[in-house]
Amino acid sequence: MTSSYKRLDKDNAAVLMVDHQAGLLSLVRDIDPDRFKNNVLALADLAKYFKLPTILTTSFETGPNGPLVPELKALFPDAPYIARPGQINAWDNEDFVKAIKATGKKQLIIAGVVTEVCVAFPALSALAEGFDVFVVTDASGTFNELTRESAWHRMTAQGAQLMTWFGLACELHRDWRNDIEGLGTLFSNHIPDYRNLMTSYSTLANSK
């Protein structure tokens, strides 16, 4: 079986942040809570850095799932915000799908809580409608490794690509010469060890 490399294109991609809600975040046990929140915010920051259309959605936020993480709302005050009244699969919500199609983008970058439901269901639905889907694994979380692996296998079997936020940023950026300081700052803000690299780089650059 042959397959082509479907490469991310910042001019053809949109980001879907699905159900990063205060209540649901408490269910995430397959990744350290602090690291997970850092990864979610890193994805949000790179979406802003690359000027990617971003859509926020929540599920039954008046119930136990709780409100959207406030940092996301603050980062994207003007983004489409779809508070689903009850649909578990975000793709079953007409406003959500309309907002996606209104972007005109064919590559969908998806992250959410929990992985096997809030990420997998819309990912599979989008794939069925001909979109290219990229799942940000470290900005999506669930109960344990078993449920995570089951979701990953189900999505990849249908053609979804699994990526981390760091890999995503690098593939979108393509070439360091496009903006060394900007991308380096984004990395430094979310990867403490990367800050050391940028400090070293800045020191050498300023000494020339």
Residue 189 and residue 151 share a domain:
no
Instruction: Tell me the per-residue pLDDT of 43-58, one tens digit each, with 9 for 90 and over.
Output: 999 999 999 999 999 9
Give pLDDT, residue 1: 47
Domain span including residue 129? 11-173
Residue 144 and residue 42 share a domain:
yes
Instruction: Tell me the per-residue pLDDT of 143-198, one tens digit each, with 9 for 90 and over.
Output: 999 999 999 999 999 999 999 999 999 999 999 999 988 999 999 999 988 877 66
Instruction: Tell me the per-residue pLDDT of 63-107, one tens digit each, with 9 for 90 and over.
Output: 889 999 999 999 999 999 999 999 999 999 999 999 999 999 999
Q: Percent of the chain at pLDDT above 70?
A: 93
CB of 30 closer than 8 Å to CB of 113: no
What amino acid occupies position 177?
A: R
Examine the residue annotation and report whether 118 is marked as an active-site residue of this protein: yes
118, 120, 163, 183: the catalytic one is 118
Give pLDDT, residue 197: 67
Residue 168 and residue 117 share a domain:
yes
